[in-house]
Amino acid sequence: MNRRLFLQTASALALPAALRGARDLTFDVVIIGGGTGGCAAALAALRNGMRVVLTEETDWIGGQLTSQAVPPDEHPWIEMFGRTQSYAAYRQGVREFYRKHYPLTSEARSRVHLNPGDGGVSRLTHEPRVSKHVLEQMLMPYVSGGKLTVLLRHKPVAADTAGDRVKSVSVKSLESGIQRTLHGKYFIDATELGDLLPLTKTEYVTGFESQKQTGEPSAPAEPQPQNMQAFTVCFAVDYIEGEDHTIDKPADYDFWRSYVPKLQPEWPGPLLSWKMSHPVTLKVRPVDFIPHGTTPAGILNLWHYRRIANRANFTEGSYPSDITLVNWPQNDYWLGNLCEVSEAEAAKHLRAAKQLSLSLLYWMQTEAPREKGGPGWKGLRLRGDVTGTEDGLAKYPYIRESRRIQAEFTVVEQHVSTEVRMKLTGKKREEVRAERYFDSVGVGSYRIDLHPSSGGNNYIDVSSLPFQIPLGALLPKRMKNLIAGAKNLGVTHITNGCYRLHPVEWNIGEAAGAVAAEAIRTGRLPTEIRNRKPLLEEFQKRLIAQGFELSWPEISPR
């Protein structure tokens, strides 16, 4: 393994020396948020000849894929279709990185669809720092060519608007405190929480809309703007038999050890246990945790679930253990939110979520029941080197739900739910299809998967149909040059549950970057491109030529 690659810091994308003293910078496209959607937006805008600035709050670009340490959740057809060409190139880049730099076995190396971790959740479970390097490699030619400026460790703090347009966004360095003002023709909000929306006074919604607002069967009678999905502070561990890697007892351990969730429908006992609600049936779902072992049929072994390194894929002695990523119901945090609260309140909840994750680890090390040799797995070792942090936890919490624009078009449950579509159309399950959009800019597929929420809801998890991404959902009703580039598009609390995962966020971001470039190229507003048939058709042709898929073949719902 070429370990020098892993000793690199984020300096590979650092601000050029010539710009370090600059306080006012001007670009064609300003992208705030360097997560999965932000990186894809940058690639699209750059590919179409734009000068771009990309800002990121952490020191790793990639968001869900890297700083949040979440292996990609994808639909079952991802190897063949249902993604953009650039997302397929990213996935291939991950595999090639392993083939080039890792000591794979000959069998693993020969697998076309190499899955380094062989995790159950994805066909490409892998270490987050590998995604970081692949994304940097994809962007590096534009950095070297002076087309892309990346501002790591920068957070948006203010915006200047004039009427229905954004003039500039000010970002602050979290290292030096220096504030820079970014001017642009178009601005893409690809932040994890939709941070630009309140700063630019763009109209938005949060939490659960009501049935009256959306007509959704699963919505409550009254709106619940503070009712948002849990977020999670992920972490990675391996297991060294015979060694003791027990961490210090977390300060909040006694609270979390005795905590019993108060959710509706009811959660089946203490949070720190091997029992949880089944996401679909809400009945008790027994799970187990056996490093390097097998579990009886029908019981989920959490060790395998998000395993990111299967030691069997690497030459003998390369890895003393598998590595698994802990992003489970047991460390979902739903006692408060990170947005629409004060900075102090958000900090309090982030600290509590970190304490929950550390408490889960400590419980697994010291008290978790096991069939042999228990209680506890003292050999569990927190792998902060994998997540790039001193505390061993992910750099940034895994965010499932963002502020969402009041969009030209909003996707609701009736457009994508399998059961609702069957009722509306009178078609059988194998015949029913999601709503078709004239302004499609991509596709996605995932179940409507809502984790327990801060309003006390248990899982909402129902079948959804392979869907399209409408351009109207990326465009605010009022603001002319602001575009949604991540989970902040025009979806509801419910449909966010199927529009929030990795390949969909990538497609959203890539479409946002592409429409910004098209608007600059043609001198037309994004709303004009959407609503004038000749302009839209020309744009969609350009998308297809650049590797976008705008519709699905005939396939069954998830």
User: What gap in Å lies between CA 171 and CA 244, rounded to an integer?
Assistant: 44
Secondary structure of residue 385 in the 3-state scheme: helix
**Is there a contact between 487 and 403 (Cβ–Cβ < 8 Å)?**
no
User: What gap in Å lies between CA 320 and CA 441, rounded to an integer?
Assistant: 45
Is residue 132 included in any domain, yes or no? no
Contacts of 382 (CB under 8 A, 6+ apart): 235, 236, 237, 245, 247, 361, 392
Is residue 179 included in any domain, yes or no? no
Q: The pTM is what? A: 0.95
User: What gap in Å lies between CA 338 and CA 436, rounded to an integer?
Assistant: 34
**Which tokens hold the place of 495?**
């449909």
Tell me the residue range of the domain where 321 lies.
231-387
Q: Which amino acid is at 315?
A: T
Query: What pLDDT is recorded for position 322?
Result: 98
Output phi, psi for 458, to 5 deg. -75, -170
For tokens 């004060």, name the residue: 342
Is residue 316 included in any domain, yes or no? yes
User: What gap in Å lies between CA 399 and CA 486, rounded to an integer?
Assistant: 11
Is residue 212 included in any domain, yes or no? no
User: What gap in Å lies between CA 98 and CA 116, rounded to an integer?
Assistant: 8
Secondary structure of residue 387 in the 3-state scheme: helix
Is residue 31 included in any domain, yes or no? no
Q: Which amino acid is at 36?
A: T
Total residues belonging to the chain: 558
**Which tokens hold the place of 431?**
């015949």
Per run of 10 residues, the mean pLDDT along the chain (length 558 residues) is 37 63 91 98 98 98 98 95 98 98 97 96 96 98 97 98 98 95 98 98 98 95 97 98 97 98 95 94 91 86 96 97 97 97 97 98 96 90 97 98 98 97 94 96 97 96 96 98 98 98 98 98 98 98 98 77
User: What gap in Å lies between CA 397 and CA 351, rounded to an integer?
Assistant: 11
Is residue 276 included in any domain, yes or no? yes
Is residue 73 included in any domain, yes or no? no
| Three-state secondary structure readout of 101-154 | HCCECHHHHHCCCCCCCCCCCCCCCCCHHHHHHHHHHHHHHHHHCCCEEEEECE
274-to-270, 300, 391, 411, 425 alpha-carbon distances in Å: 9, 10, 25, 36, 41
Contacts of 5 (CB under 8 A, 6+ apart): 101, 133
**Is there a contact between 382 and 48 (Cβ–Cβ < 8 Å)?**
no
Q: Quote the number of domains for the chain.
A: 1
User: What gap in Å lies between CA 93 and CA 130, rounded to an integer?
Assistant: 9
Is residue 548 included in any domain, yes or no? no
Query: What pLDDT is recorded for position 5?
Result: 36
For tokens 């020098």, name the residue: 4
Q: If we measure between CA atoms, which residue out of 442, 451, 445 comes closest to residue 433?
A: 445
265 cis-preceded (ω within 30 degrees of 0):
yes
